[in-house]
A and B are shown apart, each in its own frame.
Chain A
Amino acid sequence: MSQLQMNRRGAIASLLAISAAGALSACGKIEQTPALVSGLAYAEPMQFFRADEMALIAAIADRIIPTTDTPGAVVAGVPEKLQALASEWADDGFRLFWRDGLAELNNALMTEGTAFADLSVAQQTAVLSAYDASVYSNAVENDLYKNLKSTVATAYYMSEPGATQELAYEAVPGAWIGDAPLSDYPKTWAT
């Protein structure tokens, strides 16, 4: 682990500790709450992520879960779910983790001077596939990327298209069948 990474992780850990102690309460009070740390400014009231951050999130989310025979992450509204999480749900520790992490990720994915969000879809796919492989082989350490990927997946599979088109969803199954052939129910249950 590089010195920089260690410092960053230490900073996040201490911020999480501060926020866990109740540095900021979330819903409904955000506009009135002054940012405790520089870099935590909201782009607009109730919109924490800036346009450039949203563009990066949308591009990454749609490469992680693209539209195939079913809708992808952007169609399913995943970037907006992340904006709501950051703006309404997260505390300062998480906000800083995401803001700093997105900046770092933006740098890491910059390709020949072009921001990731501005690359072609084919280029984005190639760049992110390589980066994803390096993170999961531990060649690169990036907690934010893992967190982002898992959050994108959660937001997607909990969305209506993710649950009902990509996966299988039964709001009211009616009865439980414990042991059935996979061929009867070939898809993963959304819940």
Chain B
Amino acid sequence: MGDLIMADFDFVVVGSGMSGGWVAKELCERGFKVAVVERGRDLVPEEDYTDFLNPWEMEHLNWKSSQDREDYPIQSEVYAFHSYTKQFWVKDGEHPYETAPGTRYKWRRGHHVGGRSIMWARQSYRMSEIDFQANAKDGYGVDWPVRYDDLKEWYDYAETFAGISGNDDGIEVLPSGGTFQPPHEMTHLEKEWKKVIEAKWPTRKMIIGRAANLTQPTEEQLSLGRGQCQARDHCFRGCSFGAYFSSKHATLPAAERTGNMTLIADMAIHEVIYDADTNRATGVRGVNTKTMEATEITARAVFLNASTIPTAMILLNSKSESMPNGLANSSGHVGHNLIGHVGGAWARGTHTGFQDSHHFGRRPNGIYIPRYRNHTETGEGYLRGFGFQGGATRMTWGGRANEAGIGADMKDRIRTPGPWRMWLGAFGETMPRFENKVTLHSSKTDKWGLPIPVMDCRYTDNEVNAVSQAAEDAKEMMEAMGAVDVISSAGSITKDTLGAPGNGIHEMGTCRMGQDPATSVLNKWNQSHDVPNLFVSDGSFMTSAACQNPSLTYMAFSARAANHAADLMESGAI
């Protein structure tokens, strides 16, 4: 064929992000030879990170230029995108996708070693028993083939290695395992707000966010070159201290130091190579994105961790005579059941009290209000629920010049910390539905030859009604604290005003796990029902979305899946 062939690997892992890094670490530590393939470039902290820039060193007040908006029309809408973080986001024109007529989808992503573990917001929450039972209870999707107890020790393991700061809050819907580093302190107003909310609504809790920022690094973390969080809150620019969890600074270095990992960057994988005679995946095939050289990487087993949409694309594109609908797709569910988190419920307000309290540093974290709807409180017109992130800090100078007054008086006014600025924003669970899907375009390809994806995803009344109630709840909790000038999205939520699907940046579900091979792609070990040496442990395995930020769950499942795969390989089963 003339293709470059790279061989002699036990495992090939496609994707180096949140989940792929974990798979690589576990497999390498078990002694296997692992190729980790990343379609983007490797990052060089000294060149790619901008975390040491002072405000006055940022050109044009760090305002996005019209050129940036033109180059990154979709990515530039993300809160974490600015002129000094754009290097972590894809240029949309180079990575096209389409949406089905009448639908919208916002796909937020970056291509580089570390993937979105470089730009994530680091909120780290476990799923609970009510989440694992949700599908079985209300009949949407299929039942999870696992329960919380199957994952508990893996959550403990993932939290300990990653380093999560937080409190053991003793909350049933947000379990913890005694594995946290010291929590960030709440601000004075947050402490007061917590009291008000918990007094007025006894089953609601306001807790400090659980964040993957090292507040007290362990020996293991220090040995990997990671350091304590310096409270700069520049995480989205990359962290030269390696103080927040990313595969780049945590799992991949752990894999690297075993001597068993080969990291292959700039390699876009297009298909899994399949041998029908043995019913085994024998490797992956792709193209060097710089040289366009076709390449095969052969291995005894394959992990797909390319993220939810690309993993589905790779499987759908891995067609063969015996697998005409794509690999591992006898169920017909690959690409379907696309889920995520729906935003759009928010409230902001101001509080003029507690003027004697201030704070020091910049906390890369906020507060969290775990789910209570359809659990301890009813939900009106919808299933499942939502959780809130939020916070309250003193206003700095932003926005405060836009008042009457100039000169020394204005300087003096702004030199003193402003009133408290409070905010709440919800993430709601979206329902698994077969009709929400990703397919491959019948004729268009990207410039490397992979058919582009077509997203076909719609919200329904369930999402609209949940977000409507979340917005009302946010407004009420803001007002209960005595906030003034409250603005919120309450009363304005319709299908049209909800953001596009994908906007929550937590796409999941396109290779869901389940008990039945007829209705699911993976078994409870993240292993293909159809092809026993093929595993998937990025967000595509998620059978339901819950409403918690999902990365910690990907970590726990990935570690568990990798160790199971290692057991199978050691026993000769794969």
Using a CB–CB cutoff of 8 Å, the interface residues on chain A facing chain B are 19-20, 22, 24-27, 63-66, 68, 70, 81, 84-85, 88-89, 91, 125, 128-129, 132-133, 135-137, 146, 149-155, 157-160, 163, 166-167, 169-191
Contact = CB atoms under 8 A, between A and B. Distances in A.
B358 interface: yes
Nearest to A28: B67
14 contacts: A24-B66, A25-B67, A81-B61, A88-B60, A154-B401, A163-B54, A167-B396, A167-B397, A173-B362, A175-B361, A177-B361, A178-B184, A179-B186, A187-B416
Nearest to A185: B358
A16 B63 CA distance: 16
Contacts of B52: 171
A176 B396 contact: no
A21 to B, nearest CB: 9
Given A20-B66, A160-B56, A181-B357, A154 B411 contact: no
Contacts, number: 183
Contacts of B185: 176-179
Given A137-B404, A181-B358, A173 B397 contact: no
A190 B565 CA distance: 51
Given A85-B61, A163-B54, 10 more contacts: A89-B65, A91-B66, A149-B402, A176-B361, A176-B362, A181-B358, A182-B417, A188-B396, A188-B417, A190-B397
A137 B401 CA distance: 15
Interface residues of B, number: 56
Nearest to B402: A150
A132 B230 contact: no
Given A179-B186, A188-B397, A190-B397, A129 B407 contact: yes
Contacts of B416: 186-188
Interface string B382-419: 00000000000011111011111111101100111110
Interface string B57-71: 011111101110110
A180 B359 contact: yes
A78 B440 CA distance: 51
Contacts of B79: none
Contact of B406 (A132, A167, A181): A132
Contact of B60 (A20, A84, A177, A185): A84
Interface string B65-97: 111011000000000000000000000000000
Interface of B: 52, 54-56, 58-63, 65-67, 69-70, 184-188, 190-191, 228, 230-232, 355-363, 394-398, 400-408, 410-411, 414-418
Contacts of A185: 358-360
A27 B358 contact: no
Nearest to B409: A129
Given A27-B67, A63-B407, A146-B402, A171 B54 contact: yes
Given A64-B406, A132-B406, A180 B54 contact: no
Contacts of B418: 188
A177 B184 CA distance: 8
B187 to A, nearest CB: 5
A170 B361 contact: yes
B60 A85 contact: yes
A188 B401 CA distance: 13
A172 to B, nearest CB: 5
Nearest to B361: A173
A180 to B, nearest CB: 6
Q: Which of B56, B402, B418 has the most CB of A within 10 A?
A: B56
B406 A27 contact: no
A188 B360 contact: no
A103 B403 CA distance: 23
**Top 3 closest A-B pairs, CB basis?**
A178-B185, A153-B401, A173-B361
B67 A153 contact: no
Contacts of B184: 176, 178
Contacts of A176: 184-185, 231, 359-363
Contacts of A66: 407-408, 411
From B188, B232, B406, B417, name the one whose CB has the most chain A CB atoms within 10 angstroms. B406
B404 A132 contact: yes
Contacts of B414: 153, 157, 167, 188
Interface centre among A63, A70, A180, A188, by most chain B C-beta atoms within 10 angstroms, is A188
A156 to B, nearest CB: 9
A83 to B, nearest CB: 11
Contacts of B69: 20
A25 B417 contact: no
Contact of B407 (A27, A64, A136, A179): A64
B230 A174 contact: yes
Contacts of A155: 61
Contacts of A175: 228, 230-231, 361
Contact of A172 (B63, B186, B230, B394): B230
